[in-house]
């Protein structure tokens, strides 16, 4: 028996008066966070939430993310965190696909009306029973509430549901071979073990202060920072968006000892000069930096380390792996450019197309098994069987292992684009572009980018006698897709390379940019 909410409850019991999170100008103790989660759990029970039901949430890095996350887990329901940049049609898809019964949505701003987009999506999904706005003014609807009115007057104690360790705790959406995002079912034991080993890898303790600017809807920030931090009763500083000035000021103000980010963040910070805070001040606060989400260019790693005199430890993970699979464990050793060695309890192999393990130094597909491997893709048995074979998860990434047991990612089998640590599946973008009345055919590929790792480039064949500007195609995409998925480059071609069966030869497009 295991419920992941024990991470919060245990720290609240033992270290209740210590600071758990700082959000904006407000500090919250472990006891306060647990009490708020209990109040919300009681409210959800009154609304009729049942064990195993899915609860979706669109929320930035603020105190309400952990409160809602742990309240849902306490009830025995399943948390479904959504990317805050999604548009209405994308939110609708996720609500329908996850079979969400409840939806918590952040109010947003006039420039980013998240709440309006969320309500429009919710209103089109009859199976989603209740809408809760994280904000002041709820939409006009019988099934809508504000978070404040839902929690008002509720009991501060709650007897958490007893769940099995193998029960699904969280569904994380990731892109897949169908072109539509699919939900990786992560169990209580998946996430618990990954949080514990993350805390061990970073020697996390109560004296540490973590800067949490990685989005918590992504499994990297959720596990490595939020869950691991609660396990060790560390203090987390919540930032809703990355800005180099804000990051450096918060590191200095709160004496942040642990910073985790994607390569883009390190790239920006390595070149940003703060007018008042010195590199030495930043370096004196930081104890360790962690990089994941995409390969960290050596030049960026070296530039950052030289400036701030702190090591950046790189690892490798996937949503399907809860996420951590390998890491440059300080206790074992470190190789810049490497993703490190397998973490505790996880086995990794490099195999050829016949499934045989290759020799050191030879390329092959990275596969792994262990406590971190997801239960499967929610309601997608075929896709689950495709990646999970005999207990081994097939990553689709090409890697090599050197003679010392360190792994290096060298290529990808999939067409997945990783832009600034965010996964983009080309087919989803292509399908949106194909809806444009002037577009006959579209192909999307990732192209190298010094800042973001990869950038999105689209190749388009127009219908006969049609003309359209590059900007119009990009604006078309922006109206229906999260901004990070939209192409930054559009090239018009008379035709695209195809196989005999009509399949696009994307490799040829990439090789002849």
Residue range 368-384, pLDDT digits in tens: 999 999 999 999 999 99
The yes-or-no verdict on residue 429 having pLDDT over 70 is yes
The pLDDT confidence band at residue 277, using thresholds 50, 70 and 90, is very high
Q: What is the arrangement of strands in the sheet containing 235-238, beginning at the earlier edge strand?
A: 26-29, 19-23, 235-238, 209-212, 258-261, 288-291, 312-317, 324-327, 341-342
Q: Which helix (H) or strand (E) holds 291?
A: strand 288-291
Residue range 135-171, pLDDT digits in tens: 988 777 778 999 999 999 999 999 999 999 999 999 9
Percentage of the chain exceeding pLDDT 90: 79
Q: Which range scores top for mean pLDDT: 294-303, 387-396, 444-453?
A: 387-396
Percentage of the chain exceeding pLDDT 70: 96
- Can you tell me the mean pLDDT for 460-471? 92
pLDDT at 504: 67
**Chain centroid to CA 15:** 28
100 close to 54: Cβ distance less than 8 angstroms: yes
29 close to 44: Cβ distance less than 8 angstroms: no
The yes-or-no verdict on residue 500 having pLDDT over 50 is no
Residue range 196-206, pLDDT digits in tens: 999 999 999 99
> Tokens at residue 406, please?
């360190």
**Chain centroid to CA 377:** 16
The yes-or-no verdict on residue 78 having pLDDT over 60 is yes
């Amino acid at each position: 028996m295991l419920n992941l909410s024990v991470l919060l409850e245990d720290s609240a019991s033992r270290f209740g008066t210590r600071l758990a999170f700082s959000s904006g100008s407000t500090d919250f103790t472990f006891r306060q966070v647990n009490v708020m989660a209990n109040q919300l759990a009681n409210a959800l029970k009154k609304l009729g939430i049942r064990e195993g039901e899915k609860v979706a949430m669109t929320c930035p890095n603020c105190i309400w993310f952990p409160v809602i996350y742990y309240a849902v887990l306490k009830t025995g329901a399943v948390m479904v965190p959504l990317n805050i940049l999604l548009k209405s049609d994308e939110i609708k898809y996720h609500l329908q696909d996850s079979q969400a019964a409840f939806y918590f949505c952040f109010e947003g701003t006039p420039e980013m009306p998240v709440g309006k987009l969320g309500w429009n999506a919710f209103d089109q999904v009859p199976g989603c029973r209740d809408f809760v706005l994280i904000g002041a003014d709820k939409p006009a609807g019988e099934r809508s509430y504000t978070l404040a009115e839902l929690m008002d007057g509720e009991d501060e104690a709650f007897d958490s549901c007893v769940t099995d360790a193998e029960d699904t705790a969280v569904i994380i959406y990731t892109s897949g071979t169908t072109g539509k995002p699919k939900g990786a079912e992560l169990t209580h034991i998946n996430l618990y073990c990954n949080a514990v080993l993350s805390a061990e890898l970073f020697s996390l303790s109560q004296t540490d202060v973590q800067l949490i600017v990685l989005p918590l809807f992504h499994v990297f920030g959720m596990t490595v920072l939020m869950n691991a931090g609660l396990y060790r009763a560390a203090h987390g500083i919540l930032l809703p968006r990355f800005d180099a000035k804000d990051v450096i000021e918060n590191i200095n103000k709160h004496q942040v000892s642990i910073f985790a980010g994607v390569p883009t963040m390190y790239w920006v910070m390595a070149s940003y000069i703060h007018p008042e805070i010195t590199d030495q001040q930043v370096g004196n606060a930081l104890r360790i930096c962690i990089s994941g989400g995409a390969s960290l260019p050596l030049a960026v790693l070296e530039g950052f380390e030289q400036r701030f005199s702190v090591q950046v430890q790189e690892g490798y993970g996937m949503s399907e792996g809860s996420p951590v699979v390998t890491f440059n464990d300080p206790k074992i050793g470190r190789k810049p450019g490497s993703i490190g060695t397998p973490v505790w309890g996880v086995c990794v192999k490099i195999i050829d197309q016949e499934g045989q393990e290759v020799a050191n130094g030879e390329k092959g597909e990275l596969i792994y098994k262990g406590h971190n491997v997801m239960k499967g893709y929610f309601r997608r048995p075929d896709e689950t069987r495709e990646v999970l074979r005999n207990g081994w998860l097939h990553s689709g990434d090409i890697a090599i292992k050197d003679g010392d047991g360190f792994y290096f990612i060298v290529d990808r089998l999939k067409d997945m684009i990783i832009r600034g640590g965010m996964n983009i599946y080309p087919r989803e973008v292509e399908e949106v572009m194909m809806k444009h009345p002037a577009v006959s055919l579209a192909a999307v590929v990732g192209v190298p980018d010094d800042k973001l790792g990869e950038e999105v480039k689209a190749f388009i064949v127009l219908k006969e006698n049609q003309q359209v500007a590059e900007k119009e195609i990009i604006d078309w995409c922006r109206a229906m897709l999260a901004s990070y998925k939209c192409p930054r480059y559009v090239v018009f071609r008379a035709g695209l390379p195809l196989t005999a069966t009509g399949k696009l030869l994307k490799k040829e497009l990439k090789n002849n940019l």
